[in-house]
Structure 1
C-alpha cells in the first residue's frame, strides 16, 4: 500500500490505502461525485509527497498539506499495528 487517500465524510477525516495511484484517484473522484466525500488529497508513502486533490482541474477544499500527511501517517501506523 503506497498511496494513501485522505478525505472527510461528515466532517471526520479518514484515510484508505491503495497500491496503484490510478485506484487512489478513482476512489477520490467517485467518492466526491457519488458519495459526498470531501477529498483532501493523496499521500505517497514511498516519496513522502502530498498531492492535493483537484476535481476536474479545481481544488475541492483548501487544506494544508501537513494535515493530509498527518492523517495518512496516522492511518499507516494503525495499519502496521494491526498486522503485527
Structure 2
C-alpha cells in the first residue's frame, strides 16, 4: 500500500490505501461521481508527496495539503498497529 487517498463522506474524513496511483485516482473519481464522496487528494507513502484531487481539471475541495498528509499518516500508523 503506497498511495493513501483522503476523502470525506457526510463531513467525516477517511483514508484508504492502494498499491497503484491509478487505483487511487479511480477510487476518488468514482467516489465523487457515484457515491457523493468529497475527494481531498492522494498521499504517496514512499515519497511524502501530496496531490490534491482535481475532478475534470477543477479542485472540488479547498483542503490544505498538510491535512491530507496528516490524515494519511494517521491511517498508516493505525494500519501498522493492527498488523503488530
TM-score bracket relative to the smaller structure: over 0.9
Alignment coverage as a number of residue pairs: 84
Map of 2:11 onto structure 1: 11
Map of 1:36 onto structure 2: 36
The TM-score, its normalising length taken from structure 2, stands at 0.99
**CA RMSD for the aligned pairs?**
0.3
Task: Give how far 1:5 is off.
Answer: 0.2
For residues 50 and 9 of structure 1, the distance between their equivalents in structure 2, rounded to whole angstroms, comes to: 20
Q: 1:21 and 2:21 equivalent?
A: yes
Q: Unaligned 5+ residue runs, structure 2?
A: none
Task: Give how far 1:41 is off.
Answer: 0.0
Which digits, 9 at most, give the CA deviation of each residue in 1:46-75, with x for residues without a partner? 000100000000000110000000100000
For residues 54 and 65 of structure 1, the distance between their equivalents in structure 2, rounded to whole angstroms, comes to: 13
Task: Give how far 1:27 is off.
Answer: 0.0
For residues 71 and 9 of structure 1, the distance between their equivalents in structure 2, rounded to whole angstroms, comes to: 14
Which segments of structure 1 move beyond 6 Å, counting only runs of 4 or more?
Answer: none
